[in-house]
């Protein structure tokens, strides 16, 4: 049986994450307030950021940038902006 959370990104009740995916207090906050669907949206944005900005996850500054972007996306409603990227039109 899956657990539900009130997802602050989607602003609705949704399936919660199965376990804490990120360490520390931020990880606990994500586990308690972010749904699987919202986390999947973040993973897509995260992949774009890593690839387009050529981030090195061994570099502490790059990890901090990614964490800042993650917090802004998940909790503050800030979309990820990548210079030169234009989303496909439908």
Residue 45, domain member (yes or no): yes
Residue 81, domain member (yes or no): no
3-state class (DSSP) for residue 35:
strand
Domain that residue 34 falls in: 4-76
Mean pLDDT for the stretch of residues 63-88? 87
What's 9's DSSP letter? Answer: T
Whole-number Å distance between alpha carbons of 44 and 60: 21
Residue 34, domain member (yes or no): yes
Residue 58 parent element (H or E) = none
Q: At what angle do helices 36-52 and 60-76 cross, to 10 degrees?
A: 140
Residue 83, domain member (yes or no): no
Domains of the chain: total: 1
Give all strands (DSSP E) within 1-90, no chain letters: 4-7, 12-15
Residue 35, domain member (yes or no): yes
Residue 85, domain member (yes or no): no
Chain segment 41-64, per-residue pLDDT in tens:
999 999 999 998 899 999 999 999
pLDDT of residue 1: 57
pTM (2 decimals)? 0.87
Residue 25, domain member (yes or no): yes
Whichever domain contains 10, its CATH number is: 1.10.3880.10
Residue 9, domain member (yes or no): yes
């Amino acid at each position: 049986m899956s657990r539900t959370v009130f997802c602050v990104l989607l602003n609705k009740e949704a399936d919660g994450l199965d376990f804490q995916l990120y360490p520390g207090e931020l990880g606990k906050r994500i586990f308690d307030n972010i749904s699987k669907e919202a986390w999947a949206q973040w993973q897509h944005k995260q992949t774009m950021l890593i690839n387009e900005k050529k981030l090195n996850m061994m570099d502490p500054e790059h990890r901090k940038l990614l964490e800042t972007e993650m917090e802004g996306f998940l909790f503050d409603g800030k979309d990820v902006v990548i210079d030169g990227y234009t989303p496909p039109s439908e």
